[in-house]
Amino acid sequence: MLNEERIRLMTKMAAYEENEGRHNMAIGNYFRSDYISLQMIKSVLSATLVFAIVLGIFAFYHFETVMKEIYQVDLLETGKKFLLAYVIFTGIYTVISYLVYSYRYNRARKSLKKYYSHLQELSELYEDDARR
């Protein structure tokens, strides 16, 4: 027999799974530390890429000066300066992304908790049915 209450619950859950739930479930598959560290690695990579792009634009902009002075400047000193800038930039960006992603993980977990409670409810409905 069709159980209307059950169908209503399942419809709600299926709609959740299809919409915002899909994203949350992808997050929920990870442990907190795994998820956040994966995202932080991605952040470090994109920060590195951005730094490289900006550096490239800058170097190309001052192309003639760079070419002229490349043999005169203290390469080690300049390298240190750039490295420091890179570390600071990447560090700040990674900290921001840590905050964002830990917030997102918590939010997804909270939302999934509700989903799991619906799941529990559903299994109870099935049990009731079986007893009848």
Residues forming the site for another protein (CB under 8 A): 2, 7, 10-11, 13-15, 18, 42-43, 46-47, 49-50, 53-54, 56-57, 60-61, 63-64, 93, 97, 100, 126
Distance CA 78, CA 84 (A): 10
Q: Which of residues 19 and 75 has its CB atom nearest to another protein in the complex?
A: 19
Q: Other CB atoms closer than 10 Å to residue 90's CB: what's the count?
A: 18
Q: Measured from the CB atom, is 31 or 63 closer to another protein? A: 63
Residue labelled with tokens 């079986």: 130
* Smallest distance, another protein to C-beta of residue 71, A: 21
DSSP 30: S
